[in-house]
Homo-oligomer: A and B are copies of this chain.
Amino acid sequence: MSADQRFTQVAEQLGYCFDGEIKIGGNYVPLLRHDDEVYISGQIPRVGDTVVVTGRVGEDVDLARAQLAAKIGAMRALALLQRSLGSLDQVRRILRISVYVHCSADFTQHSEVADGASEVLYQVLGELGAHTRTSVGAYQLPKNASVELDLVAAVNPQV
């Protein structure tokens, strides 16, 4: 099965569609390629027009919902890579993800939240999805999102 087929499979499992336009405002871009590296802007768990998981993890949002938020963020990043590269089979490696968890004062399971994102990357990309990771607790996030993540990937050289 190709990485693109696995992407579609994970999207179906989550029950969300990632085909829509990635909304973006301001003078920045959702994705940028420099040589064989691709940078992805911070992704919140938005599907279409709706931020699906909002609120403070450990207070308004439990671990399972927070992991879902991380999964959606990772899927959005993959959707951007797919659209830009033509196929996720062009991804050579996910180099780094940073996962920001909008959490309560005593919530300490940031790594477990980030596991949601790491799981999706592994499901879709296999060994190539294994990445370095930093997960921290943020005081707030854009649009009251529960989780935000950004990503750097290495991709195949352009022919």
Contact = CB atoms under 8 A, between A and B. Distances in A.
Number of copies of chain A assembled together: 3
A149 to B, nearest CB: 9
Nearest to A99: B42
B95 A39 contact: yes
A133 B30 CA distance: 8
Interface in A116-154: 118-119, 121-122, 129-144, 148, 150, 154
Which of A27, A34, A137, A150 is the most central at the interface, judged by chain B CB atoms within 10 Å of its CB? A27
Given A26-B111, A100-B136, A137-B138, 19 more contacts: A26-B115, A27-B129, A28-B118, A32-B95, A32-B96, A32-B130, A32-B132, A34-B37, A34-B93, A39-B96, A41-B133, A98-B150, A103-B140, A105-B139, A107-B140, A134-B150, A136-B140, A138-B138, A138-B139
Contacts of A26: 111, 114-115, 118-119, 133
A34 B142 contact: no
B95 A25 contact: no
Interface residues of A, number: 55
A40 interface: yes
Contacts of A9: none
A107 B139 CA distance: 9
